[in-house]
Amino acid sequence: MRIAIVGGTGSFGRALAERAQQLGEDVVIGSRDSSRAKEIAAVIGVEGASNEDSVQGADLVVLAVRSNAAIETARALAPAIGDTPLLCVASDLTFTDEGVLPGRHSQSLAEEVDQIIEGPVAAGLQTLAAAHLTQAEPPDEDVLICGDDQRAKDTSLELVGRLVTGRAIDAGPLANARALEGLTAVILNVNRRYKAHAGIRIVGLK
């Protein structure tokens, strides 16, 4: 599988690229600054390119830019992405003195991205921390993927199921990205309160 990670020079995108490369996937990381993408890619052992060039010929595009750049990036890359499946991993969050809060209360970031690009959109990995991907062993946790298009979900589930020793779980339609994105805020608050690096496990599944 050829995976284009848009925003691959950020902490999560880079960690994902490193893990996917170790799994033997064909990975290209994209950035607004192609020279920086190539510089980091050389260290990881993958390809580096501009965001637009990175998505050419990909089997899956992972939108791993910061949440405040996700919509603008999706608009800019929509023609280049075409009908390629896209996995949106971002969460829109609000940071306050009381804690981390979901940044949206109706439509999710992934749903808005879905309205912009032609290809099918899935959402997931919001509960998986970059620090967990950079550990020597795969993280012992589950990951959740949701989407309205089965092709986008299956492609995403195939990849993310190999990132963890837990399970890749189909979490239903894309509207459930609202809950998945909100889970990021929950986990960040848990991490802050208990000085931990929490993940999730779904019990009761065989």
The answer, as to whether pTM is greater than 0.85, is yes
Inter-residue contact 180 to 127 (CB < 8 Å): yes
**Amino acid in position 206:** K
Per-residue pLDDT tens over the stretch 15-67: 999 999 999 999 999 999 999 999 999 999 999 999 999 999 999 999 999 99
Amino acid at 11: S
For 184, the 3-state DSSP assignment is helix
Contact indicator for 9, 36 with CB cutoff of 8 Å: yes
